[in-house]
Structure 1
Amino acid sequence: MSAIIASPTSKAATPRRRPLAAALLVALALPGMAFAQTAKEKELEARVAQLEAMVKQLVSQQQQQQSQISEVKTAQATAPAAPVAAAAAAPVTAGAVAGNPPAPAKPTIQTAPIMATANPGTRFSYGGFIKLDASLTKTNDGDIPDGTVGRLFYVPKTIPVGNGRTDEGGSDTDMGVNFSRFWFGADTDLDSGDKLKAYLEFDLFGGGSTAFTGNEIATNTYALTLRQAYVQWNNWLAGQTWTNFQDIAALPDTVDFLGPTEGTVFVRQAQLRYTSGPWSFSMENPETVYTPFNGNMAQVQGDDGAAPDFTARYTFKGDWGHFSAAGLVRQLAYQNGPLNQDSDSMGYGLSVSGKFNLGKNDDIRYMVTGGSGISRYLGLALNNDAVLDSTGDLDNIDMVAGFVGWRHVFSPKLRTNIFYSRADYDQDTALTGLLITKGAQSGHVNVIYTPLPKLDLGAELIWGQRELENGDRGDLNRLQTHVKYNF
């Protein structure tokens, strides 16, 4: 045994390990004490050497782990704060290194982007409104069909026009929340100085069959509908938004969804737009809407043609308000392969609009638009762009439309708006027939009360009239109300 204890291997052990090695040696050597001078002695000596080597390996691993923990602590003390998006790659703690679960981290306040896939520094925003609309509508030449767009807000082309009899009218009450809206935005300022913006906007108006969205009998559910979706890179915009031919800043403050519909440029569509200072230019989705030969009020969507619609706008702003002028040039197209008919024509238009401040509490808002072959841009396509003649050639329909309105603020909680709108069309009745819209007009008066911040209670009286080329007219009288909360 003295030879074994004095072996070189045992000298390499640390003082703390010697009692352990000695205990192991005794436990293993006792059964063979009676045979100390036999071959068992050599076997025991080999086993002790193996045990000491294992102890050395364990000590070395522990030292490496302690070194790693020290390095991590040093890195944590000197490294800058990591964004929340990188929380999944948090530094290893001592407990985690040792194979134990890490200690719970101290709660922190969210200060960085919540989407790991967004560009660093992206700012997210959202908003919208909840809106209850309720209306009482009376027409003198027939009912507007239940569930159609004309029952939800003022759409002049849906005003019934019959033979002038006053006993064919109807009165209807409608309520709904499907003009409620939600939007989501993401804005990023890159290190390069570039600015990126993404925008999505939805409402509940339209979108799908009632078989899937419900009806007024029981569920009154509505489908989510896309309004706007675009990305903006510095001065460039790509996606769907309001046409560049439309001045949304000139629109009146209304209770009805749109208000002066027949006199308003109103289109949302896909486009590529460039803006520089007061100037903006766009290429937009083309769509031709035409009347068949002697088709009267029939409305057919034709070919898109080879060229997009082109617009240009100039806007001048000041403390007094703003003034804007826009131009539109487009190609109308029609093709009927079986009849070997192919026709196109050029459409064009000019629109001027703005808002003029009369003082702190009053302003005038207006828009005047005229052109040829641009009717789908006005009044929710109150009339068509063109009509086909007997040979399949397109003949443009000319038009002029506009509105003017006055807004007065009585107090921060009470305001009123009065406005008038009109549209007139010039078309060849030998081609269209006499049962097509010749013109439409409307008058509006509303009062909007804001009892609490961002909560509006509004009521609007609407008178509308549509006239056909044969002289028949139909009138609409409506009381439109809403409760609207913006968030």
Structure 2
Amino acid sequence: MTSKNIGRVLLGGVALAVLSTGAQADELSQLKAQLEALQAQVNQLEARPAAPTLPEGASWITFRRGTEATADWNTARAGDYIPSSSGVTIAITPSADLPAPVHEVTISGYVKGDVIYDFDQDLGDLFSYTAINGRDDQEHIRLHARQTRFNIKSKSDTAIGQIRTLIEGDFFSGGSFGSTDWRMRHAWGEWDMTPNWTFGAGQTWTNFMSPFTGITTVDFNGDIGLIGASRNAQVRLAWHDGPMLFAVAAEHPRDSWLLTDFGNSSSNIPDFTARWQYDAPGGHKFLISGVLRNYHTDSSLGGSSESELGWGVQGAVNINLADIATLTTAVIYGDGIGGYIFGANRGAYYDGFTGDIETIESMGIFAGLIFNVTDTTSINLGWGYTDQSRSDLLDASWVTGRYDQNVDIMSAHANIIWQPVQQLRLGWEVMWAERQRTVPVFDPAGTLVDAGTRTDDALRAQFGAWFYF
């Protein structure tokens, strides 16, 4: 090869070397820029606050067996029982301060099957006192599951206090001879405005009622003499401090229409109720309550405008007898409160002859004994009596032409309840009642001449099984 060619080759190699060195420099510059961008992103991520981490085994939403979360909010009356070990609780935890939940929902209830045998006449799916009419020797058997119940509770801890809700229903629509349609029992909400004051609204037990008086019965109704119109739409304000509670409420006018009113009865103001309750040491309980209501006819609906006040008072006591038995009692008395006392008629009637509203005196008495034989077995005995003024009822039937009105009713329940496990309860019960009612009196010619009374009784046996879910 000539020296000229050798020179050309060397020049070409130098040129390639220079070009290669320039390309590597460009690649290094690009890599350096990318590394600087990644480092900036890392710095930004490190500057952010660390996301909260869940403890081992925890989650934002939890499901657990039992309803202990709302067990301290007791909305049941005597005899209504759903064990806190049944049902399920759904808990929603906050985004910090784990593991305390801020919202909990509990779902529970039971399936109940009943077998009923009437010795005298068919009184329906519950012991219907108003159906007792002397039809003897009409034995009848019934099986049903209408008392099956579903219950949803919730509680939420908020910045303005705890808020609680209750929705409950069953299939006892239309009374003893009704249908199996779903019906609302409770739709109630409460707000703890302060540590001592609670506001509530919706439908639940009337504030006039004693929530602790009564016994567990297999029969859905239970004994006469207690508050019968027990669930009412209302707004309520309650003050509570330790074992003491005082509550006032404005409630939907319960039975403020008249026995007969010629179509001009009008509920123009709510019923007002007040209740004082004290839970004493040793398991003793005391209660005083009252109700004030108004009966009204409106001239715009026909006739004249009239008003008449009705009132009632109640005293109730539960006495713990050495942890072996509980004595539970209540006495109710008033004028014009018929619809509140179980077994009473409407509390007033319209006298078309005088144009006046006449109230009817009423009284209810109940006494019961609860014997805790073992941890799984109890014996329950209950007696009740509801009395309305005989003279008032006879006048009401004669003036209005509405007979078959209860003058007085006496009832008794006796049962054995066995609960071998929390999810199952069985009960065997015998019940009896005597009813006196108004009847028309005719002369030999068949002319209506007066209003009188007739007394009949009835006997029933019942078995019930509760299956809690």
TM above 0.5? yes
Pick aligned residue for 1:284 from 228, 251, 263: 251
Quote how far apart the aligned CAs of 1:365 are. 0.8
Task: Identify the structure with the greater helix proportion.
Answer: 1
Task: Point out where structure 2 has 5 or more consecutive residues left out of the alignment.
Answer: 1-11, 62-88, 193-197, 439-451
Query: Within 1, Cα distance between the matches of 2:421 and 2:172?
Result: 26
Aligned partner of 2:427 among 451, 458, 461: 458
Residue 138 (structure 1) shift? 2.9
CA RMSD of aligned residues (A): 3.6
Pairing of 1:241-320 with structure 2 (within 5 A):
241-277=204-240, 278-287=245-254, 288-292=256-260, 302-305=265-268, 307-318=269-280, 319-320=282-283
- 1:475 aligns with one of 444, 457, 462: 457
- Residue 394 of structure 2 is aligned with which of 411, 415, 429? 429
2:446 is aligned to none
Q: What pairs up with 1:89-104 in 2 under 5 angstroms?
A: none
Structure 1 position 123 matched with structure 2 position 104: yes
Identical counterparts, % of pairs:
22
User: 1:151 — aligned with what?
Assistant: 124
Does structure 1 retain, via aligned residues, the 8 Å contact 2:377–2:417?
yes
Distance 2:424 2:299 in 1: 53
Give the partner amino acid of 2:348.
Answer: A
How far is the alpha carbon of 1:310 from its aligned partner? 0.9
Residue equivalent to 1:393: 356
Q: Relative to structure 2, which stretch is displaced further, 236-245 or 428-437? A: 428-437
Aligned partner of 1:99 in structure 2 is none
> Which residue does 1:170 correspond to in 2?
138
Matching of residues 219-238 of structure 1 within 5 Å? 222-234=180-192, 235-238=198-201
What does 1:371-450 align with in structure 2 at a 5 Å threshold? 371-379=334-342, 382-390=344-352, 392-426=355-389, 427-433=392-398, 435-450=404-419
Measure how far apart 1:343 and its partner are. 2.2
The 1:125/1:390 distance shift into structure 2, 3 A limit, reads same
Structure-2 change in CA distance of 1:378 and 1:59 (3 Å): farther
Preserved CA contact (<8 Å) 1:207 1:224 = no
Please identify which structure carries the higher strand content: 2
Letter in 2 for 1:332: Y
Q: 1:264 to 1:311 in 2, by over 3 A?
A: closer
SS for the counterpart of 2:201 is strand
Letter in 2 for 1:79: A
> 1:294-317, CA deviations, whole angstroms, 9 ceiling, x for partnerless residues?
x9xxxx994221x21111111122
Distance 2:124 2:264 in 1: 24
Structure with larger Rg: 1
CA distance in 2, matches of 1:429, 1:304: 25
Query: C-alpha separation between the residues in 2 aligned to 1:363 and 1:129?
Result: 26
Measure the CA separation in 2 of the matches of 1:207 and 1:358. Answer: 39
Pairing of 1:3-14 with structure 2 (within 5 A): 13-14=26-27
Distance 1:301 1:359 in 2: 55
Structure 1 pair 12–285 and aligned structure 2 pair: CA distance change class (3 A): farther
The SS at the match of 2:212 is helix
The answer on 1:190 being equivalent to 2:190 is: no
The one-character-per-residue Cα deviations of 1:354-396 (angstroms, maximum 9, x if unpaired) are 211111111111111010111111116x301111111553211
Structure 1: which 5+ runs fail to align? Answer: 18-55, 87-109, 145-149, 216-221
Deviation readout 1:58-111 (Å, 9 max, x if unpaired): 9978975775477557758x332379669xxxxxxxxxxxxxxxxxxxxxxx99
Partner residue, 1:132: 113
Aligned to 1:337, the other structure's residue is in SS state helix
CA distance in 1, matches of 2:437, 2:90: 62
SS in 1 for 2:453: coil
Q: Secondary structure at the match of 2:92?
A: coil
Deviation track 1:422-451 (CA, whole Å, cap 9, x = no partner) reads 111111523323542211111111111122
- 1:432 is paired with a residue of what secondary structure? helix
| CA distance in 1 between partners of 2:38 and 2:340 (Å) | 73
CA distance in 2, matches of 1:343, 1:111: 53
Q: Given residue 431 of structure 1, which amino acid in structure 2 is its aligned partner? A: A
Q: 1:111 to 1:247 in 2, by over 3 A?
A: closer
2: CA distance, partners of 1:387 / 1:475? 27
The CA deviation at 1:326 is: 0.4
CA contact (8 A) 2:366 2:382 kept: yes
- Counterpart position of 2:84: none
Match of 1:250, SS state, is: coil
Q: 1:115 to 1:423 in 2, by over 3 A?
A: farther
The code of the aligned residue for 2:345 comes to N
| Cα distance change, pair 452–301 in 1 and its aligned pair in 2 (3 A) | farther
Contact 1:290-1:301 at 8 Å conserved across structures: no
CA distance in 1, matches of 2:34, 2:339: 79
